[in-house]
Structure 1
Amino acid sequence: MARRSAPDVNAGSMADIAFLLLIFFLVTTTIDTDRGISRKLPPPLDETVEPPIIKQKNVFVVEVNKNNDLLVEEVPMELKDLRAAAIEFLDNGGGVGSEACDFCQGAKDPSSSDNPVKAVISLRNNRETSYSTYIAVQNELVAAYNELRNRESQRLYGKSFIQMEEELKDVLYSGSKDRLKEQIKNIQMMFPEKLSEAEPKK
């Protein structure tokens, strides 16, 4: 009996199919990108303008050492307590006269910050501090500002600050965007995010 010859496979279109699959996967695949921390850089140094004098009581020093231990005002603290400590400092309202804060709900301790506009949080870290600890500390400090902004936004406008920011980005928002921008700016002026980062220690 004669042997049959195997039919040839037409491979002429294989390259086209592979190319189409490659394009499909390139178009549909999402690539993870690292997100940075939103920070506003200081303006260029102007030699003619003298830097403002900051009272020591208006500076809240947060330090992270090479062992990832947290020191707040030179006192050891757990990360879970940092947000509450920052809120207590920012919302103290210990100022009198022109430096008084009429919306602050803190202890009004004269040895702590005068008002949120004057208050500065100074973050110092070591070069050997882990990145995850650094980001966790940043998150807690930013969360302290957001919590206070949410409180005042609820009191003044009946909705949270985060909700207002989301509405501003929403293209389907039906209200006045100019009014919304003004309200957001007003809350930001009440609790300006003054987060100073010192150069890491070696």
Structure 2
Amino acid sequence: MFRKRYRQQIPELNTTSTADISFMLLIFFLVTSSMDTEKGLMRQMAPPPLEHETPKDINRNNVMQVKLDAQNQLSCDGKPVTLQQLAAEVRTLAMVNRTGHVVQIEADAKTTYEAYFSMQDAIVGAYHTLRQEYAQKHYGCTYETCNAEQREMINEYYPQRISEGQIAQEGGAQ
């Protein structure tokens, strides 16, 4: 009486090669794409002196010597400091003597890149703070929102005067 019905089976789609193709595409895009993870410092070299210009002598009292040793210990004018203290020292020096100061940096060859970049960030951050304060006071906006002419005026008022000293030993950083 009752008849058993057989359902017609639909053949499945063969997906065994799909995984292989997706992995090949993934590898292709990973190999062909570039991921820049390098860190760098934005620095503008000083222009060469003109023929009729004589080099300027800098008063030793206006030079801040920042050293980073092989154990990543930071010192400023011979005294151990933290990154926050270094930034405060640079701000103070730049405020007191805006155009005649120099921050001289010396790093040991065994210093790690992370410690070196942290020190550079602290120094550049101090200048950035001074420029932000100047922009707020004189233009009523942040340094980033100032126009090119205003930024140039601020950069001339608080110039970034950083000198890279000789590396203590031969070789590169870690």
| TM-score between the two structures when normalised by the length of structure 1 | 0.66
The separation in 2 between residues aligned to 1:10 and 1:85, in whole angstroms, is 69
Aligned to 1:22: 25
- Matching residue within 140, 145, 148 for 1:158: 140
The separation in 1 between residues aligned to 2:51 and 2:110, in whole angstroms, is 34
CA change 1:70–1:33 in 2 (3 A) is closer
Aligned to 1:185: 152
CA change 1:67–1:48 in 2 (3 A) is farther
CA change 1:35–1:67 in 2 (3 A) is closer
Aligned to 2:166: 199
Map 1:1-202 to 2 at 5 A. 18=21, 22=25, 26=29, 31-44=35-48, 49-92=53-96, 115-164=97-146, 180-202=147-169
Secondary structure, aligned partner of 1:91: helix
State the structure with more CA Rg: 2
Unaligned runs of 5+ in 2: 1-10, 170-174
CA-to-aligned-CA distance 1:91-133 (integer Å, 9 cap, x gap): 12xxxxxxxxxxxxxxxxxxxxxx2111111111111111111
The separation in 2 between residues aligned to 1:32 and 1:181, in whole angstroms, is 28
The separation in 2 between residues aligned to 1:162 and 1:72, in whole angstroms, is 30
Aligned to 1:169: none
Alpha-carbon deviation of 1:73?
0.8
Alpha-carbon deviation of 1:57?
1.4
Unaligned runs of 5+ in 1: 1-6, 93-114, 165-179
Alpha-carbon deviation of 1:76?
1.4
CA-to-aligned-CA distance 1:74-102 (integer Å, 9 cap, x gap): 1111222111111111112xxxxxxxxxx
The separation in 2 between residues aligned to 1:78 and 1:35, in whole angstroms, is 22
Alpha-carbon deviation of 1:33?
3.0
Aligned residues: 155
| TM-score between the two structures when normalised by the length of structure 2 | 0.75
The separation in 2 between residues aligned to 1:186 and 1:201, in whole angstroms, is 37
